[in-house]
Amino acid sequence: MSAAADYAKYKDPKEPLNRRISDLLARMTVAEKIGQMSQIERENATADVVQEFFIGIVVYALRVHFYMVRSIYQRSALAVGSVLSGGGSVPATNATPEAWVRMVNEMQRGALSTRLGIPMLYGIDAVHGHGNVYRATIFPHNVGLGCTRDPELAKKIGAAVAREVRATGIPYVFAPCVAVCRDPRWGRCYESFSEDPKLVQQMASVISGLQGEIPAGGRRGAPYVAAGQRNVAACSKHYVGDGGTAGGANEGDTAATFHDLLSVHMPPYYSAVAQGVSTVMVSFSSWNGAKMHANRFLITDFLKTTLRFRGFVISDWGGIERITTPKGADYMLSVKLAIMAGIDMIMIPYTYTEFIDDLTTLVQNGTIPMSRIDDAVRRILRVKFTMGLFENPYADFSLAGELGKQEHRDLAREAVRKSLVLLKNGKAGEKPLLPLPKNAGSILVAGSHAHDLGNQCGGWTITWQGVAGNNLTTGTTILDGIKHAVGHGTDVVYSENPDDGFMQQNKDRFDYAVVVVGEPPYAESFGDNLNLTVPAPGPSVIRDVCGSVRCALVLISGRPLVVEPYMDAIDALVAAWLPGTEGQGVSDVLFGDYGFTGKMARTWFRSVEQLPMNVGDARYDPLFPFGFGLQTRAAAEMEALD
């Protein structure tokens, strides 16, 4: 065979992008194409599961004493296009960046050993930092970042997250969430920047941080990832209307006219596509009773055709199973509806054998045309080529030092400072309590969230749901920050749950108190909440402490909660949201090293009976309106003015 005949254009980076895609697509079998459309979970790469695909197994022992599977395909029947880590899915407890890189590279080695050598794309959730990974920098959740109203800060955070993700050998993240949360009863509301679509659209600048800034004159809708190993492919989610469901029910139904859908929930996707976002994830939710995972009009006709999005559309975790009721009742029908709706890659963590079998059948019997398969694979390959995966499929250890580096922690601390919203500062007729004096005789720090890194970080931290406690990762609690902020002669007393008896015995001891309470960690449906009250023992701590001494209440939560019953008792109220690992950002502002600048990106309701209530509504009687936030100067500025 001649050298010319052997020449594979798709392997030549000098060839134009579309020529490389077409060349590779023409060489692929139906099975290989369906493989590219499949994304499986990391933990399912076991011998028993993989052997179902006629795959041989090589078990590779790593120095960190865990085993992983390297898949070497012995037939040309299939090469899976993508692998993911779900929430909490890790190679080992407290795995190092090097361990992550080894795992990803072994999987990649298996993919590259197939007939065509198409690289595997590894994806992971990174919704507020590289949350699955031990010692990563955990940034404030989006509910707090929205209050900064700082798109440039969001972009910097995206760039830092990209480098930390790349430090573990991963080139693709399922972020950002660009939902417009219209009801705080929704368990994912903290993943949303705001109830206001314009603000969400502005904060979607995080995409340019993750992927790199798209060049001027770039083709509209085409995916873009900057060259090199410091950026990642991003994923805007969850398309579309996930934040508008009735009662804030996760995976619920958004009842809205097409005009309302376009004006409230679609604008962030205009920004995402303009920035060259690589992928879009479809929502579990429905629009006017129709499942988004089966909505051809919104996925193909609007997103792909009207908006000219040229990246690939991915399902959510097991999303196609939810098309039918009950879930998985007619899986082949679900596969048909999802693929024909325009979903290109299917996240099938546990049902991938059934998916591949059923999709193969649907193609072979003509139910799904080959043109639809080719469109999906062309989009997937476009992203892989664009991000340089064919030229640089393997990760190395050179970026390991990016994980949790001080520069990123400093950035997260800045984000915490700017996200804090001061809602009250002093009772009527009294002087403001904040900023707190650093030099005091004795101060009390109380509450379940004052010294708890897990509560501070919230969901999507180390595990899917998050977990309370200080053993999950590294960081600085709010109590740690307070101790660091006060003068050497100030006695800091910490009591997680001081009762009335303790306060009566010490009523003359404390100059002031800082009470830090809030919600426990949660994610998705586990966070759906119809009452939104401050969880116990928070109310009793507020009552007992603030009834005895001047107090600042710092609320740690993924959304506004019912606080009106406590407003008369407290002297100051700070919404700190879910600040992440850098709790010192809270003390920076409490003690006046920096002023309060955050403004509400959500409406703070009085009672849940008012919900949903959003800025611009005809009936609008909030406790704190959208855009509210008391401003203070740094203590040094105040002294200079005096």
Strands 172-173 and 67-73: unpaired
Q: What is the DSSP string of 3-53?
A: HHHH--GGG-TTS-HHHHHHHHHHH--HHHHHHHTEEEEGGG--HHHHHTT
Bridge partners of 241? Answer: none
Helix (H, G, I), strand (E, B) or coil at 368: coil
The full length of the chain comes to: 642
The verdict on whether 316 is a catalytic residue reads yes
Query: Is the separation of the CB atoms in 165 and 233 below 8 Å?
Result: no
> Pick from 172, 210, 563: which is nearest to 384 by CA?
172
d(CA 88, CA 354): 25
Choose the catalytic residue: 316, 321, 344, 528.
Answer: 316
**Rounded to the nearest 5°, which phi and psi values hold at 615?**
-55, 135
Q: What is the DSSP string of 466-518?
A: ---SSSSS--B-HHHHHHHHS-TTPEEEEESS--HHHHHHTTTT-SEEEEEEE
Choose the catalytic residue: 524, 528, 582, 588.
Answer: 524
Taking residue 59's Cβ as centre, other Cβ atoms within 10 Å add up to 11
Peptide bond into 238 cis (omega under 30): yes
Residue type, 103: M
Strands 512-518 and 551-556: parallel
> Pick from 611, 602, 538, 599: which is nearest to 569 by CA?
538
Helix (H, G, I), strand (E, B) or coil at 121: strand
> Pick from 208, 184, 11: which is nearest to 624 by CA?
184
Q: Which one-letter DSSP state was computed for residue 580?
A: -
Residue whose tokens read 């949903």: 612
Query: Is the separation of the CB atoms in 119 and 389 below 8 Å?
Result: yes
Query: Is the separation of the CB atoms in 125 and 523 below 8 Å?
Result: no
The verdict on whether 6 is a catalytic residue reads no
For residue 318, what are its two tokens? 């097991």
Query: Is the separation of the CB atoms in 517 and 448 below 8 Å?
Result: yes
Residue whose tokens read 């410091």: 230
> Pick from 131, 111, 125: which is nearest to 172 by CA?
125
HEC per residue, 392-451: CCCCCHHHHHHCCCHHHHHHHHHHHHHHCEEEEECCCCCCCCCCCCCCCCEEEEECCCCC
For residue 620, what are its two tokens? 């609008």
β strands within 223-370, DSSP E: 235-239, 253-254, 279-282, 286-287, 290-291, 312-314, 346-347
Residue whose tokens read 């459309």: 37
**Rounded to the nearest 5°, which phi and psi values hold at 186?**
-70, 130
Q: What is the gyration radius of the CA atoms in the chain, in angstroms?
A: 26
Query: Is the separation of the CB atoms in 358 and 335 below 8 Å?
Result: yes
Catalytic residues: 316, 524
